[in-house]
Structure 1
């Protein structure tokens, strides 16, 4: 998310220059699976979550990629658990805005859902080296699925608790930054949901953002999506538009998905976890579906 990248060191400039030699692929990879076809009723196999099968912005669009999380373990054809983007300190830790280190055991599939767990068991990490107070679940479709434009949506329930910072976001396949599309970035300590776009060039980054206060993301299952067209982004909650931005700052390069359950480390935005925060907790996702605009 955008706030993650504000703590970069000067050395990031060299990383971005190196990333410039990598080209983005606009054609998405596709992994059809008979067992992962979206439900005709829009309910999970193990109980109701989001109530309707197809959100209005997705109607009539071809499904290009999805995961219904019906297996017993993470589908490694679709996902990896290692970070691969500018601004991270290593493959399992982003930067000092985070209090959490990504570990594979915090990525759990059960009852037809993905559970990205955050926990307060300190871990000694190796990538990068250090001791971290909290752990998180992290998955990314980098190198496995990416496309330009389309409608991207999850059905999810977010955790409540001071200092929790789970999110659904998109970043470029070519390892550049910005841009970044924050579809649903939850600051549980405020509590408030952030959606928006980081654009421009480092360090002159433009932020187009909308904040929605309230605890609704934690009290039930909701759909969070973005319809991405040339020059326009429209964000949706439960199939209803909540925020639209237009202009040349809207990216055209291919992007991929990140889902993670991090914790916030700084004093602002609700502050870090404290004794009131319940651990372990999880960011639960029933499905992710990505459609291609015609």
Structure 2
């Protein structure tokens, strides 16, 4: 089998911390686990494909912003560390990566479909940024195939936040939020924040597989009255409440976020969130 390459990106500078050209690492493609679920067909019965990125060696720049909630910090601190391996996106936390804030140990690598000053709840602002709302749907079916590698102090998430066109439009949907350390559990949440019309719902989802080592399919069906979680195309949980406005979608990995424990400094695991694809559908 011929080796496949991993492309490396570290945000706006495009250089590794020590300077010089980007590193390229040759990797053999691993054989799939018997328990892994293969990718779905691109077309989905009953739905019309709206947007997608198969992550085949690059990001769709018309879909993704690669700086996480940039108005809270500097562009360098907000920039995602990411690459590609075996036609999948690899979001990663690196030892050389700066923390998100200068006085806080949290690091984050995230891509998102929209960005503007003050997005997501309320927080101190570092500076104003241009508005870039690249893809902010209202309702639909949204799917990824992924594995998380989260453990204590490291967590990954596929989630969505309101565009905040008004102050109350800031609910959050955590479709897949893996806080570690349990390898067969994750969170499916609806956080209302300041939205008076959305109910709060927090749910621990237990799977029959290891979400850190196996690729599986996670999806959100969102309509005017409900949000539904699907795992490997099976309905697992329904929440009978729903944000009634456009939302930004995010793929994120965090270290030392403050609520998931402390990273063991001797743990040299890959700090990666591996995502095979992102697909968004609207009703046919």
State TM-score, norm by structure 1.
0.68
Q: 2:64 aligns with which of 79, 83, 97?
A: 79
How far has the Cα of 1:185 moved from its partner?
Answer: 0.5
Q: Do the aligned residues in 2 keep the contact of 1:74 with 1:107 (CA within 8 Å)?
A: no
SS class of match (1:161):
coil
Looking at structure 2, the residues matched to 212 and 91 of structure 1 have their Cα atoms a distance apart, in angstroms, of 35
2:252 maps to 1:260: yes
SS class of match (1:216):
coil
Q: 1:51 aligns with which of 30, 38, 45?
A: 38
Cα gap change, 1:55/1:230 in structure 2, threshold over 3 Å: closer, same or farther? farther
Aligned length: 231
| Deviation sequence 1:87-114 (CA, Å, 0-9, x none) | x733669xxxxxxx5434x111232110
2:92 maps to 1:117: yes
Q: Do the aligned residues in 1 keep the contact of 2:68 with 2:79 (CA within 8 Å)?
A: no
Looking at structure 2, the residues matched to 219 and 110 of structure 1 have their Cα atoms a distance apart, in angstroms, of 15
Matches within 5 A, 1:206-221: 206-213=199-206, 216-221=210-215
State TM-score, norm by structure 2.
0.70
Provide structure 2 residue ranges, at least 5 long, that are not aligned to the other structure.
Answer: 1-28, 115-132
Provide structure 1 residue ranges, at least 5 long, that are not aligned to the other structure.
Answer: 1-44, 94-100
Cα gap change, 1:124/1:242 in structure 2, threshold over 3 Å: closer, same or farther? closer
Cα gap change, 1:240/1:264 in structure 2, threshold over 3 Å: closer, same or farther? farther
Looking at structure 2, the residues matched to 218 and 124 of structure 1 have their Cα atoms a distance apart, in angstroms, of 24
The equivalent of 1:138 in structure 2 is 110
Q: 1:246 aligns with which of 229, 240, 243?
A: 240
Looking at structure 1, the residues matched to 97 and 87 of structure 2 have their Cα atoms a distance apart, in angstroms, of 29
Looking at structure 1, the residues matched to 245 and 155 of structure 2 have their Cα atoms a distance apart, in angstroms, of 26
Bigger share in helix: 1
RMSD after superposition: 3.2
Matches within 5 A, 1:109-188: 109-121=84-96, 123=98, 130=102, 133=105, 135-142=107-114, 143-174=133-164, 176=167, 178-188=170-180
How far has the Cα of 1:207 moved from its partner?
Answer: 2.4
Looking at structure 2, the residues matched to 174 and 204 of structure 1 have their Cα atoms a distance apart, in angstroms, of 14
How far has the Cα of 1:189 moved from its partner?
Answer: 2.6
Q: 2:225 aligns with which of 231, 252, 265?
A: 231
Q: Do the aligned residues in 2 keep the contact of 1:161 with 1:278 (CA within 8 Å)?
A: no
| Deviation sequence 1:125-144 (CA, Å, 0-9, x none) | 6xx5x266564321011111
